[in-house]
């Protein structure tokens, strides 16, 4: 059985993961409007990953005898100044999610729930990968600046990304 304090922390994080899915879906719609299909694909993969992350925690909470309590999901932004601005926000958001995973791990440590710590270790490693991937795209966008040809080349590159369902835990 999972402690009430850790159950609440997991529910808070499930909401954060679902918000991430919602935010990236909004960014996907933005790139659709710009007709940047590679960026659309990149965000589509992010949407699927965030959904998988939320469901991993959702299922874990059930496995531990906890109660999932879904809360309202905050409305995300819908417009950005540029693709660069989008990816600056993505990096900032991923850094926020990393801080929230760390906070969730702090609660697991506090209540001495080693099973939860073991489970959450995967999420922490995933966040390192997420920040690195976003950082790479962001660095390229900074190099591209206003070069439309270079942006279209990056768009083609981002079209190759595929969703690989994670094995969580």
User: Which sequence spans correspond to the domains of the chain?
Assistant: 4-158
Check whether 134 has a pLDDT greater than 80. Answer: yes
CA 103, 5, 71, 122 torsion-angle sign: positive
HSE-CB for 107 with a 13 A CA cutoff? 19
CATH fold for the domain made of 4-158:
Ferritin (1.20.1260)
Provide the pLDDT for residue 168: 86
Separation between Cα atoms, residue 142 and residue 62, nearest integer Å = 43
What are the tokens at 58? 């959702």
Question: What stretches of 35-168 show up as alpha helix (H) in DSSP?
Answer: 37-63, 83-110, 114-144, 148-158
Question: What's this model's pTM, rounded to 2 decimal places?
Answer: 0.95
Q: What is the pLDDT of residues 49-62, one digit of tens each?
A: 999 999 999 999 99
For residues 137 and 42, the answer to whether their CB atoms sit within 8 Å is yes
**What value does the mean pLDDT of the chain take?**
97
Check whether 169 has a pLDDT greater than 80. Answer: no
Q: Which helix (H) or strand (E) holds 24?
A: helix 4-34
For residues 16 and 74, the answer to whether their CB atoms sit within 8 Å is no
């Amino acid at each position: 059985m999972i402690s009430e304090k850790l159950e609440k922390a997991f529910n808070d994080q499930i909401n954060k993961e679902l918000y991430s899915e919602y935010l990236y879906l909004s960014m996907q719609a933005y790139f659709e409007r710009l007709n940047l299909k590679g960026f659309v694909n990149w965000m589509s993969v992010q949407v699927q990953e965030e959904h998988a992350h939320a469901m991993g925690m959702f299922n874990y909470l059930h496995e531990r005898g906890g109660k999932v309590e879904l809360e309202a999901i905050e409305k995300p932004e819908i417009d950005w100044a540029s693709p660069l601005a989008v990816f600056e926000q993505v990096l900032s958001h991923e850094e926020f999610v990393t801080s929230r995973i760390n906070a969730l791990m702090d609660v697991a440590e506090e209540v001495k729930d080693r099973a939860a710590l073991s489970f959450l270790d995967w999420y922490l490693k995933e966040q390192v990968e997420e920040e690195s991937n976003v950082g790479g795209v962001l660095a390229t966008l900074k190099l591209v600046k206003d070069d439309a040809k270079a942006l279209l080349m990056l768009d083609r590159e981002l079209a190759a990304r595929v969703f690989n369902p994670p094995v969580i835990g």
